[in-house]
């Protein structure tokens, strides 16, 4: 039998017996273990490119509880490319303003001031089960169009045998065990990754000695759609910091930092949680509004990653490969970027368009991304939980100065919100022959921009693109050419700077490979071969 580890919010992929369970092991090009945001995004990306992807999940749908709630623009851009972005943004709560308090005092407020000319907002708040549901809906739509994606619910990976160029999985189902072979096996099976454990691999990094209580409450309240964060909150028993943030369906995320030495069972008792929530809500409104506790959880966290994200035919993506503190929304967001990075590389290798060695760049690039996320989230955590007298002294000095003096505000750190890393100087990028704007240098994720009634990222699509701005349309017999004869001001500002024309080569994950002032077919060909690892 397959044990139920948690309750599901929605059933998305009910168990159905397949004939393969009674047959000799079948070899699949790509098997993905785990149907969370990372595994689903990867399967969808591969399937839309025509590369078969089989997802195994030990449950039948999205786990209960809001979990990841904050999805960044880059993730929404990826989801939109995959055909799942619109319902996310429609359902999600868009927010821009944050307030930071120290005790009773508001220190300052910030506005993310989103730039114009992007399809997607800087951030939305959306409960993770919805994120997964919309990805599965997009998978169902892709399947109807013939995309070779299969999801098998209640298929639990219980054993793995790793060979030089394939892996064999032992799978447990309600109808008993069977085996599957995979040319490539992608472990998207979460922070406690059973695949990682079965392979005897571990993590390097720091465990933070702190406990956070999450209480998601449903209530009708007039709080604005803002992120409110308290250092040393004034309400009773609220711990060292607290957070209030709105989600869809009238649900509010409340977080309390409880410290290290706590009695978990006692803290999880409903009356105790309610006393904390009552104190917080009444401190803002003077009364305790009617509310329902939707989900509660106590978590501790680590900032750490695996040394290698690739072990032969087995790849680790998302929380199975790296973990961060939740401050900054760098968990699910970075996992979706892992999927985005890996999908086109697997596809190119399986179709014979790139050598197998291209797959090594998945680790180099995404481990760099993970290190950046770990650094940012460790710094936020160190600020929120000073680890010795002198760190507390400086932390309190910063908070003490921040209300009156703006110079201290950039030092206040309650989480630096997720932005994609730039692969500066990585081997599969370059050259930068344009001397153009810094934000669109090779290695960067291509920013969005308006093109009449459309958006730039939609035109680029999911394969290699040549973006030609100004000048004449270049011709290329294999690559999608997006030519914009008269770029509008936003496009000029983001991609041209002082130039009147430019050529950009962009990867299928919409990272910029190289750029030039003019089209030169042999230079583009050389950059393309380099980025494919040939």
Residues in touch with another protein (CB under 8 A): 376, 379, 382-383, 388-391, 393-394, 398, 401, 404-407, 409-411, 413, 416
Which CB sits closer to another protein, 1 or 397?
397
The token pair that represents 336 in the structure block: 């979706």
Smallest gap from Cβ 209 to another protein, in A, equals 17
Which CB sits closer to another protein, 377 or 510?
377
Residue that the structure tokens 């944050």 belong to: 98
Residue that the structure tokens 């908070």 belong to: 399
Smallest gap from Cβ 411 to another protein, in A, equals 5
Smallest gap from Cβ 295 to another protein, in A, equals 31
Smallest gap from Cβ 424 to another protein, in A, equals 15
Question: Can you tell me whether residue 155 is helix, strand or coil?
Answer: coil
Q: What share of the chain is helix, strand, coil (3-state, %, to 5)?
A: 30, 30, 40
Which CB sits closer to another protein, 397 or 473?
397
Which CB sits closer to another protein, 7 or 405?
405
Question: Can you tell me whether residue 281 is helix, strand or coil?
Answer: helix
Which CB sits closer to another protein, 225 or 391?
391
Smallest gap from Cβ 322 to another protein, in A, equals 19
Smallest gap from Cβ 302 to another protein, in A, equals 19
Which CB sits closer to another protein, 287 or 388?
388
Smallest gap from Cβ 131 to another protein, in A, equals 28
Which CB sits closer to another protein, 206 or 379?
379
For residue 184, which of 49, 307, 350 has the smallest C-alpha distance? 350
What is the Cα–Cα distance from 519 to 501, expressed in whole angstroms? 10
> Which residues have C-beta within 8 Å of that of residue 311, sequence separation ≥ 6?
162, 199, 201
Cβ-defined contacts of 265-270 (< 8 Å, 24+) = 267/211, 267/213, 267/298, 268/296, 268/298, 270/296
Smallest gap from Cβ 218 to another protein, in A, equals 35
Please count the other Cβ atoms lying within 10 Å of the Cβ belonging to residue 11: 12
**Residue 428 near residue 438, CB atoms below 8 Å:** no
What is the Cα–Cα distance from 479 to 466, expressed in whole angstroms? 7
Partners of 315 in the β-ladder: 186, 310
Which CB sits closer to another protein, 41 or 422?
422
Smallest gap from Cβ 379 to another protein, in A, equals 5
Sign (positive/negative) of CA torsion 243, 102, 402, 377? negative
For residue 245, which of 417, 119, 437, 34 has the smallest C-alpha distance? 417
What is the Cα–Cα distance from 256 to 230, expressed in whole angstroms? 10
Which CB sits closer to another protein, 272 or 403?
403
């Amino acid at each position: 039998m397959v044990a139920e580890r948690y309750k599901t919010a929605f059933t998305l992929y009910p168990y159905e017996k397949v004939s393969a369970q009674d047959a000799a092991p079948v070899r699949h090009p790509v098997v993905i273990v785990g149907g969370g945001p990372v595994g689903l995004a990867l399967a969808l990306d591969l399937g839309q490119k025509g590369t078969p992807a089989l997802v195994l999940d030990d449950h039948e749908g999205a786990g209960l509880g809001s979990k990841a709630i904050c999805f960044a623009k880059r993730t929404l851009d990826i989801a939109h490319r995959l055909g799942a972005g619109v319902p996310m943004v429609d359902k999600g709560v868009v927010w821009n303003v944050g307030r930071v308090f120290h005790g009773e005092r508001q220190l300052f407020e910030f506005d993310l001031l989103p730039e114009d000319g992007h399809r997607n907002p800087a951030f939305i708040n959306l409960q993770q089960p919805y994120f997964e549901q919309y990805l599965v809906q997009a998978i169902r739509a892709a399947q109807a169009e013939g995309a070779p994606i299969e999801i098998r619910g209640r298929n639990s990976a219980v054993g793995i045998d790793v060979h030089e160029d394939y892996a064999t999985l032992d799978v447990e189902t309600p109808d008993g065990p069977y085996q599957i072979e995979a040319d490539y096996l992608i472990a998207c099976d979460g922070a406690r990754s059973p695949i990682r454990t079965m392979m005897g691999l571990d993590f390097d990094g720091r465990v933070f000695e702190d406990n956070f209580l999450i209480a998601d409450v449903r209530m009708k309240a007039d709080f604005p759609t803002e992120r409110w964060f308290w250092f040393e909150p004034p309400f009773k028993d609220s711990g060292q910091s607290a957070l209030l943030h709105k989600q869809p369906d009238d649900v509010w995320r409340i977080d309390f930092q409880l410290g290290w030495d706590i009695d978990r069972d006692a803290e999880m008792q409903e009356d105790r949680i309610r006393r904390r929530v009552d104190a917080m809500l009444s401190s803002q409104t003077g009364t305790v509004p009617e509310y329902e506790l939707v989900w509660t959880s106590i978590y501790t966290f680590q900032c750490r990653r695996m040394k290698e994200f690739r072990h032969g035919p087995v790849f680790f993506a998302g929380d199975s490969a790296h973990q961060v503190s939740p401050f900054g929304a760098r968990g699910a967001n970075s996992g979706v970027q892992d999927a985005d990075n890996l999908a086109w590389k697997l596809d190119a290798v399986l179709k014979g368009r790139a050598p197998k060695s291209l797959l090594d760049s998945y680790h180099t690039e995404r481990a760099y991304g993970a290190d950046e996320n770990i650094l940012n989230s460790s710094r936020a955590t160190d600020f929120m939980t000073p680890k010795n007298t002198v760190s507390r002294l400086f932390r309190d000095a910063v908070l003490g100065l921040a209300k009156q003096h703006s110079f201290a505000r950039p030092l206040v750190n309650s989480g630096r919100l997720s932005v994609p890393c730039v692969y500066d100087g990585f081997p599969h990028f370059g050259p930068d022959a344009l001397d153009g704007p810094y934000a669109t240098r090779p290695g960067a994720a291509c920013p969005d921009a308006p093109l009449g009634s459309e958006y730039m990222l939609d035109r680029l699509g999911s394969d290699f693109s040549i973006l030609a701005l100004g000048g004449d349309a270049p011709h290329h017999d294999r690559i999608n050419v997006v030519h914009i004869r008269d770029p509008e001001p936003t496009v000029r500002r983001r991609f041209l700077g002082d130039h009147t024309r430019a050529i950009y080569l962009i990867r299928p994950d919409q990272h910029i490979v190289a750029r030039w002032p003019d089209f030169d077919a042999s230079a583009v060909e050389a950059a393309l071969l380099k980025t494919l690892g040939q």
